[in-house]
Structure 1
Amino acid sequence: MTVSNDLMELKEDKILEKYAAAEALISGFDHTPRIAAKREPDVVRERSPGLGTRRRFRSTTPGLVTRSTARPEGVQLAERVLESDDDALTTPLQASVLRALRRSLSVAQVMSDQYGEQTGLSDLKRANLAGTLDASQKDRFQQLLSASALISLHVFANMMDFLLSGIAADTEESEIQCGEVEEILLDNDQLALHGALWELDQEIASASIDTDAQLVSLIMSYCEQLMEKVTLRAEGVELLQSFSDARYRVEADNFEITGFTPAARARSTTLAMAFKRPEEVVGNHIAKYQAMKLAKMLMAYDFDRKLNPFAELGGFIFTFMGDGKPGTGKTTLIQMMAGLINDYCANAGYVFRYQNLSTDSIDSYQGKSAQNAKSFIRNVTDPNVIGFGTIDDIDQLAGKRGDRQSSAGQLEITAVLMESFAGANTVVRGNCTFGMFSNYPENVDDALRQRAGARFLVDGPQTREDYIDILYLLMGKNHSIPVGDHDLFEAQVIQKAVAASYESHARPKEDALIKVFERVSGGIGDLDTIAKIGAYLKAIQEADERFTGRAIKNITDAVKVRAMDFELPDEWMENPDLFLLKNYETKKNMIADLAQPITVDMVIQEINRYADSEFRYADKSDEVAIDNAVRDMQRMEEAKRRYMEQSRT
């Protein structure tokens, strides 16, 4: 194994040595299920008269005998794959699936061996076979075997999904999902692979597969679910640290192993939306400015290091909340930002993936809503793409805990989003961002709302100039009405408008927060030191107990964004050689040179911006709760009145 940069290469000759064992597994073996139940096929396929019913998987390894020694009821995955349609000959897709199976199994076994050498598991295996394993080592031996099994399963599923994603990109789309993955055995790596292949064989046998594309889709669905289950099992297992912290590469396949992170081959999504240019967004100055900056920030992501310099230096926005009244421009903002990222990625040759989590993701089946939300998160956070995920009308999609109107599916989505946006295992690489949008943010769960690191107030056109500009823009060209005494779009000059918007937050806007600000500043004077600013934050917390440490983190993150209050030059986006294609350290130094120092004004403005939004949400939330309580009381009084009337009669 050689080291290249921070990637360790898995030797090709070691992989080829495992081909014979992998082919034996694909050809046939016996397995008695221990967790999952055997599935009954939906359809019994019959071949045309005169056609053979069995096709042989032929080895490319000289001297290997491929005759299956398994019993007829054993696992014969190669035969199962070849029977997925009625063609008497092996199709190119079937051959590709079998080659991917062999390759993935071989790499999984090499990775397991590598882990065994690093941790001493190989020595313990030899001692166990010789009967000389010390009793004091048995617990560690079993723990290492389980860890090795988890690695084998994940690497197998990860590479299989990666290889098949390249095949799927060239075939027609097919949506076919596997059932629940259950046969996850952790006794050792070999038994783990037996269980996985047995269950995959069962899935193919029980599914109604009519085309090769459906076969590929089913196997990918199985691999994705297997990876998800294995990753959950691996959480908190200390013996897996050496595997999780290292990065490996299979050069011939351009495949990287980065712990338990999926490495699916990057595929862009086809966007069917009408993009908006920045000049078509009127008003919403701060939201527009930050969206434009964020689009360029994403482009600083380094695909070799799998990290964005902005995520390391500070100032990267991983999640943001856009709220405003209906018709103020939230959809336009999404169209503008998606259009900018799409154009930048097309120019740089990067893969861009946009996805929206809609109300269609809410499912009546238990666990399915969570699965849909996890799939959404996984697709957007794929480290091989630039991702933009949106959750429009999040107040309808994610349930508010304690609200009797929230369905089980909505609460499942809330739990997934909370864990994904600021959970123990959340990793911010800087390749993607998530925007949550709502007309009624007060109906969003408090803890989920506070996971929005930035707040974009989408308040639409505000001034006389804004309304003239938007009228002119929407009227189009088919008229001869004069503009009159007005400089078109002068008010939309972004730097001028943003500066004015930021300065307006030198004082808070919400009545409850104004009282806190005036009381604190009146008592201790100008908020010009860390101690005085801290006193102001404590006073805000006393006024609203929901203003917690997470709020302070969001504010400091916003301040760091202000320190990076510059747009990467347009020419850096237009000519990739100037910035985008440079190495990580060079990009990091170029960005650091543009940063500006943090000032007291920045801190006060960001505290007021964030606190204003929280007080605004809290006031609306409290009013909604009071209105609901009043309606409940009124209904109860009416019920009592009717009950008394019926009792008297």
Structure 2
Amino acid sequence: MTTRDTMELREDDIRSHYLAATEMLMGVDHTPRIGTARHAPVVAERSPGVAATGRRFRSTTPGLVTRSTARADGVRLLERIAEQDDDDPLTSPLQATVGQALRRALSIALAVGQEYARQTPLVELKKANLEGRLPADRKPEFTELLAAEALAVLYTFGNATAFLLAPHASERTAEIGPVEEVLTDNAPLALHGALWELDQAIAAHAQDDATLVATVLAYAEQLMAKVALRGQEAPRISGFTAASWRVEADKLTIAGFKPALAAKGTALTMTFKKPNEVVGNHIAKYQSLRLAKMLMAYDFDRKLNPFAEMGGFIFTFMGDGAPGTGKTTLIQMMAGLLNDYCKVAGYPFRYQNFSIDQIDSYQGKSGQNAKAFINNVLDPGVIGFGTIDDIDQIAGKRGDKQSSAGQQEVTAVFMEAFAGANTVVRGNCTFGMFSNYPENVDDALRQRSGARFLVDGPQTREDYIDILALLMGKNHEIPVGAHELFAAQEMKRAVAASFEGHSRPHEDGLLRVWDQVGRDIGKLDTIAKLGTYLKAIQEADPRFTGRAIKNITDAVKVRAMDFELPDEWMEQPDLFLFKPYDEKLAMIRGMTQKITVEMVIQEINRYADSEFRYADKSDEVAISNMVRDFGRQEEAKRRYLEGK
């Protein structure tokens, strides 16, 4: 289904370019201008006396009078693809798929270029140039329009290639480096340069079918990034960026410099954990369980989740705790639940983790990696779960001289994605940030986590008995003793006790504010008194801003929907998952409860406790560092005076 402002890219227009696209893949003549040739072109073996019959592509675009840069050996991309498995004389099915995808992508790109020319004066100027009557004062305009068309065609080629090959991607990746041969004289020459550089990349990095697909996908992504960067300030590019085309046969939408995403899940190889294998962390475990089921309520037709519409959806959350308290186990549990639910429903599930090895020394590359991670998880065609483990090491604090440029880039991307002007929460995905040292995370980025999961691990005597019994396994006959195994992990009872524990603050700094407000205005039982308490917190910690209030109210709305979707709804999708959106919305509304003062107080204290905990740790770390620096200065001064 297309929106009103999206035009259809007709199939007949696309197929009219199949011949030209096929000839490009069979052979083009191109002498590189910017890139450096590192691999010899494919030279077809022929019997003696047999003349070459391969056809070379020549531009037939009206209005373009160009000189050939032909050389004896052209770029034969189809032959390059076929030679990647020298031991097999036949083309493999995946090699044929790559060739078909490239032809389709080239044809779509040429069709988009044709549409761009029709919607701008370019068609008229090409005709005038061909007839030799192009006015001198319009030559700069003609040059700019040709360059804009070339950028539009190049980006569409990369975009369509990545989209069409995404379902064939494996776990293999290829690091091909940035693309160089980006030419903007005209669209055909731009595509020739792209095919030449893709040929070089395949020769260097593709050894089998899996690496062939990985190499082509890597090239498409690098091409899109380079062209989008060039197109930011390109004149007359608005004819491309302001338009949107839909290729219905492929379910592909071309919308300017915005990557199209194919609905493909990921095959997970992690070790999943069952909820009963997570000991302690009651609130974090309970909210993770509920969030997994919330995500499954997403409606793929409406591209919206009823929970997101009602305001009770957790888009981002922060899980913090000391090392070894169970953060990784929570990730494994939630990913396992989503994976199982999606298998039953037949939904594509995509899990991705953004790790420290994606911070790159190349300028801009770390930001590109972060943006690709965000876009992959946000894809409205999948159920997505994105995690950022050890975010304090990945995203740098702004103004921190110890943070690398790559870390600063990542921080900027995450801040814009999680609560930026263009952020749209559909309810199909969630992002979890995890850290042992959340006080080292940039304040503004940390406050973009709508929910807080304190991952404090086993706490009670019962917790420690349960985790010992769980990890010991069954290869023993040691009696349990006077203890009912896992009774303390019974979810509802444990969660109720955990929430009730936040009826008063835990952190000393917040507790002082709580006591002072209680003495001044008495019991917090009205909105005015609750607002007074919030203002007192802000006076004690200026970092407690309006965004904190929004996060608290979102958490309260989640509490108002303090129910767990029945397991039967996940096991039998017809009971809920496959129902129309409006019916799902009505079913959820019927299960909600009224917001109470106790809920609001508990969520204020839970959130504020976390902020005071982070601030206290951050201040203590800063003070310790200053004390250490002063000690070093004094020691240096002493040694200096002794050496005189």
Q: TM-score, normalised by structure 2?
A: 0.84
**Alpha-carbon deviations, 1:192-228, whole Å to 9, x = none?**
54554454345446x2544454333222111112233
Aligned to 2:14: 15
- Confirm or deny: 8 A CA contact 1:84 1:212 kept in the other structure: no
Per-residue deviation, 1:254: 4.6
1:547 paired to 2:544? yes
Of 139-148 and 578-587, more deviation after overlay is shown by: 139-148
Per-residue deviation, 1:622: 0.5
Which amino acid in structure 1 is aligned with residue 554 of structure 2?
D
Aligned to 1:289: 286
Of 545-554 and 521-530, more deviation after overlay is shown by: 521-530
**Alpha-carbon deviations, 1:306-328, whole Å to 9, x = none?**
33333333222222111112222
Per-residue deviation, 1:615: 0.6
Per-residue deviation, 1:104: 1.1
Per-residue deviation, 1:45: 6.9
Aligned to 1:566: 563
**Alpha-carbon deviations, 1:35-79, whole Å to 9, x = none?**
x713121467777796999784799xxxxxxxx987227964546
Using the alignment, how far apart are the partners of 1:520 and 1:128 within structure 2? 75
Aligned to 2:178: 180
- Confirm or deny: 8 A CA contact 2:28 2:56 kept in the other structure: no
Which amino acid in structure 2 is aligned with residue 335 of structure 1?
Q
Per-residue deviation, 1:581: 2.4
Aligned to 2:393: 396
Q: Aligned pair in 2 of structure 1 residues 430, 401: CA closer, same or farther (>3 Å)? A: same
- Confirm or deny: 8 A CA contact 1:234 1:240 kept in the other structure: no
Aligned to 2:632: 635
Which amino acid in structure 1 is aligned with residue 37 of structure 2?
E
Per-residue deviation, 1:373: 3.5
Which amino acid in structure 2 is aligned with residue 512 of structure 1?
G
1:380 paired to 2:377? yes
- Confirm or deny: 8 A CA contact 2:350 2:385 kept in the other structure: yes
Using the alignment, how far apart are the partners of 1:389 and 1:417 within structure 2? 12
Q: Aligned pair in 2 of structure 1 residues 75, 614: CA closer, same or farther (>3 Å)? A: farther
Q: Aligned pair in 2 of structure 1 residues 529, 298: CA closer, same or farther (>3 Å)? A: same
Task: For structure 1, list consecutive stretches of 5 or more residues without a partner in the other structure.
Answer: 60-67
Which amino acid in structure 1 is aligned with residue 346 of structure 2?
G
1:472 paired to 2:473? no
Superposed, 1:180-579 pairs within 5 Å as 180-184=178-182, 192-204=190-202, 207=204, 209-231=206-228, 248-251=246-249, 253-257=250-254, 260-579=257-576
Q: Aligned pair in 2 of structure 1 residues 623, 111: CA closer, same or farther (>3 Å)? A: same
- Confirm or deny: 8 A CA contact 1:7 1:249 kept in the other structure: no
- Confirm or deny: 8 A CA contact 1:301 1:309 kept in the other structure: yes
- Confirm or deny: 8 A CA contact 2:31 2:70 kept in the other structure: no
Using the alignment, how far apart are the partners of 1:645 and 1:295 within structure 2? 65
Q: Aligned pair in 2 of structure 1 residues 127, 20: CA closer, same or farther (>3 Å)? A: same
Which amino acid in structure 1 is aligned with residue 163 of structure 2?
F
Per-residue deviation, 1:341: 0.9
Using the alignment, how far apart are the partners of 1:460 and 1:200 within structure 2? 50
Of 87-96 and 101-110, more deviation after overlay is shown by: 87-96
Secondary structure at 1:389 match in 2 = strand
**Alpha-carbon deviations, 1:508-530, whole Å to 9, x = none?**
22111122233334334444444
Per-residue deviation, 1:139: 10
Task: For structure 2, list consecutive stretches of 5 or more residues without a partner in the other structure.
Answer: 58-66
Q: Aligned pair in 2 of structure 1 residues 246, 625: CA closer, same or farther (>3 Å)? A: same
Q: Aligned pair in 2 of structure 1 residues 116, 71: CA closer, same or farther (>3 Å)? A: closer
**Alpha-carbon deviations, 1:214-265, whole Å to 9, x = none?**
33322211111223344556679998699778572432x4545466553454
Which amino acid in structure 2 is aligned with residue 125 of structure 1?
V
Of 567-576 and 227-236, more deviation after overlay is shown by: 227-236
Q: Aligned pair in 2 of structure 1 residues 98, 353: CA closer, same or farther (>3 Å)? A: same
- Confirm or deny: 8 A CA contact 2:319 2:455 kept in the other structure: yes
- Confirm or deny: 8 A CA contact 2:296 2:577 kept in the other structure: yes
Per-residue deviation, 1:332: 1.7
- Confirm or deny: 8 A CA contact 1:112 1:189 kept in the other structure: yes
Q: Aligned pair in 2 of structure 1 residues 500, 145: CA closer, same or farther (>3 Å)? A: farther
Using the alignment, how far apart are the partners of 2:245 and 2:598 within structure 1? 43
Which amino acid in structure 2 is aligned with residue 494 of structure 1?
M
Aligned to 1:72: 71
Using the alignment, how far apart are the partners of 2:321 and 2:569 within structure 1? 33
Using the alignment, how far apart are the partners of 1:288 and 1:490 within structure 2? 15
Q: Aligned pair in 2 of structure 1 residues 554, 188: CA closer, same or farther (>3 Å)? A: farther
Between Structure 1 and Structure 2, how many residues are aligned? 628
1:582 paired to 2:579? yes
Per-residue deviation, 1:624: 0.5
Using the alignment, how far apart are the partners of 2:593 and 2:488 within structure 1? 26
Superposed, 1:83-232 pairs within 5 Å as 84-85=83-84, 86=86, 91-92=91-92, 93-114=94-115, 120-121=119-120, 125-126=123-124, 129=127, 150-169=151-170, 174-184=172-182, 192-204=190-202, 207=204, 209-231=206-228
Using the alignment, how far apart are the partners of 1:281 and 1:426 within structure 2? 33
Per-residue deviation, 1:393: 2.3
Of 526-535 and 213-222, more deviation after overlay is shown by: 526-535
Secondary structure at 1:177 match in 2 = coil
Q: Aligned pair in 2 of structure 1 residues 212, 325: CA closer, same or farther (>3 Å)? A: closer
- Confirm or deny: 8 A CA contact 1:321 1:455 kept in the other structure: yes
Secondary structure at 1:594 match in 2 = coil
**Alpha-carbon deviations, 1:490-523, whole Å to 9, x = none?**
3322222222222222222211112223333433
- Confirm or deny: 8 A CA contact 1:57 1:78 kept in the other structure: no
Aligned to 2:63: none
Secondary structure at 2:452 match in 1 = strand
- Confirm or deny: 8 A CA contact 1:183 1:199 kept in the other structure: yes
Using the alignment, how far apart are the partners of 1:424 and 1:87 within structure 2? 54
Using the alignment, how far apart are the partners of 1:386 and 1:155 within structure 2? 26
Q: TM-score, normalised by structure 1?
A: 0.84
Q: Aligned pair in 2 of structure 1 residues 305, 517: CA closer, same or farther (>3 Å)? A: same
- Confirm or deny: 8 A CA contact 1:520 1:539 kept in the other structure: yes
Q: Aligned pair in 2 of structure 1 residues 272, 565: CA closer, same or farther (>3 Å)? A: same
Of 41-50 and 435-444, more deviation after overlay is shown by: 41-50
- Confirm or deny: 8 A CA contact 1:352 1:385 kept in the other structure: yes
- Confirm or deny: 8 A CA contact 2:82 2:95 kept in the other structure: no
Q: CA RMSD in A?
A: 4.0
- Confirm or deny: 8 A CA contact 1:179 1:203 kept in the other structure: no
Per-residue deviation, 1:644: 0.4
Per-residue deviation, 1:534: 3.0
Per-residue deviation, 1:282: 2.0
**Alpha-carbon deviations, 1:74-100, whole Å to 9, x = none?**
964546635754579662444433322
Aligned to 2:595: 598
